[in-house]
Amino acid sequence: MSPIDGNDKNDEIETGLDYILSHLEEPLFPRKISTQKSQNKQFRIETKKDIINAFLESNFGDCRINAYPILRNGVTSWQPNLLFIDLDLTDFNSNNTILELTLNKTLKNIKEKLDNGSPTVLMSGNGYHVILPVHCPMVLENIHEFQEFEKPSERFLRFAKDYLSEGKANKSNNPSFKSCLLRVPNSINSKYNKKVTIVQEWNGLRPPVTKELLLEFRRYLIQKKIEAENNRQKILLRRQQQQQYNHNNNNYFNWIETKILQTPFEDCRKIIIDLILAPYLINIKKLTYEKSYQIIKEWLDKCNTLKRLDSIRNFDYRISYVLKNAMNKGIGPMSLEKIETDTNYQKLRLLLEKKNHMEKFEV
């Protein structure tokens, strides 16, 4: 017996497939489907028999078919002739009452805005799938008013989903010509182990995409374009601010590079590596622990030529300690102002002034 023949379950899945195929426009094939066996990855099929066989091989688990055929060579867009809205129970805190109210409001919007449109409604296993075939006479890319926008035909699918559901549709489901996957009635939603069932049947009529809806869509695209430009300007401003910040910081911390790292000190070394060098290298220059360790160790070696430390080993431990402390605290180095004004660091201030042959140490 061939896989396409046989028992009632086979007949059920074929009936469900025929029902979904009735919503789709030619060419029906080639098209992509996905199943539980394919781990929900889409793969190409050529005939209805191929679909049935694939569904049977997956034991009817997660049987989906793409609402749009595979784009042919030279074809960049289809007419948006099927709208898909996914209302997921988890988006409503598992509150069935709110889910039902949202479905009713969505169906009301469809009826009012799409010439008494009456879509298919599937119980998906954890919510509702609203499927509405519509009539759009041409790809929107060929309409003058939409030619300034990128991929208007595909973006219309997402606009309609949000517009008709008043923003309540599943935000993780963004239909496109490549990803508008429809569950097949009588298949199984494996995540919830529930059969996909028809709650409301499509009346077989394709309401036209109205001029009013297209005008609303164009306003939506204009607003999105404005938002994108505003975001672009914000990003540019942040970059400019970051560049200015980096420039200022380079100037502000220039004294550490020129007055400390290039100068050996015979005293105050613990304070310098703890409160200045470690936080500067880790949190300002964003160097690795290993690189920071190497820089401090080399600086201490230069300092050791002026006055030998009692125990190099103790300072090896100290370097590791102050670097880890800087990483944990995430704070920057002690400021020049604090060194100049805090009496606890008078010795370091005097040493800095001496080292730089200045009456008062400045940046």
Q: What is the residue type of 46?
A: E
Tokens of 29: 């094939």
Global pTM reads 0.67
What's the token pair of residue 157? 């699918």
Look-up of token digits 């001496």 = 354
Highest mean pLDDT range out of 49-53, 266-270, 344-348, 355-359?
49-53
Domain containing 169 equals 8-209
**Residue 12 included in any domain:** yes
Judge whether 218 and 155 are in contact, CB under 8 Å: no
Q: Is the pLDDT of residue 345 over 50?
A: yes
For 11-29, b/e burial (b = at least 16 CB within 10 A) is ebbbebbebbbebbeeeee
pLDDT of residue 251 exceeding 80, the answer is no
Q: Does any domain span residue 234?
A: no
Residue 22 lies in a domain: yes
- pLDDT attached to residue 244: 63
Interhelix angle 152-165/211-252, nearest 10 degrees: 100
Q: What is the domain count for the chain? A: 2
Q: Write down the pLDDT at residue 329.
A: 86
The answer to whether position 231 is within a domain reads no
Find the DSSP H helices in the chain.
8-21, 48-57, 96-113, 152-165, 211-252, 254-255, 269-271, 278-279, 289-304, 312-329, 336-341, 346-355
Q: How confident is the model at residue 249 (pLDDT cuts 50, 70, 90)?
A: low
Confidence of residue 305 (pLDDT cuts 50, 70, 90): confident
User: Of 184, 209, 234, which marks where a domain is finished?
Assistant: 209
Residue 188 sits in the same domain as residue 335 = no
Tens of pLDDT, residue by residue over 2-41, are 444 446 778 999 999 999 999 999 889 999 999 999 999 9
Instruction: Give the CA distances from residue 215 to residues 13, 81, 159, 325, in Å, rounded to whole numbers and listed in that order.
Output: 40, 17, 12, 60
Give a yes or no: residue 225 inside a domain: no
Q: Which two tokens stand for residue 203?
A: 């009346």
Mean pLDDT computed over 73-79: 81
On whether both 186 and 279 belong to a single domain, the answer is no
- Rounded to whole angstroms, what are the CA distances from 160 to 82, 152, 177, 329, 346? 10, 12, 14, 49, 70
Is the alpha carbon torsion for 106, 111, 115, 116 positive or negative?
A: positive
Backbone phi, then psi, for 216, in 5-degree steps?
A: -65, -40
Give the span between the Cα atoms of 303 and 57, in whole angstroms: 75
State phi, psi for 14 to the nearest 5 degrees.
Answer: -70, -40
State the pLDDT confidence band at 72, using cuts at 50, 70 and 90: confident
Mean pLDDT of 55-67: 97
Report pLDDT for 43. 97
pLDDT at 335: 83
Cα end-to-end distance, the chain, whole Å: 89
Query: 258: pLDDT confidence band, cut at 50, 70 and 90?
Result: confident
Amino acid, single-letter form, for residue 145? E
Q: What is the DSSP letter of 20?
A: H
Q: Is the peptide bond before 27 cis (omega within 30 degrees of 0)?
A: yes
Q: Are residues 50 and 153 in the same domain?
A: yes
Query: Do 37 and 120 reside in the same domain of the chain?
Result: yes
| Confidence grade of residue 245 (pLDDT, cut at 50, 70, 90) | low
pLDDT of residue 361: 44
Number of H helices, E strands in the chain: 12, 10
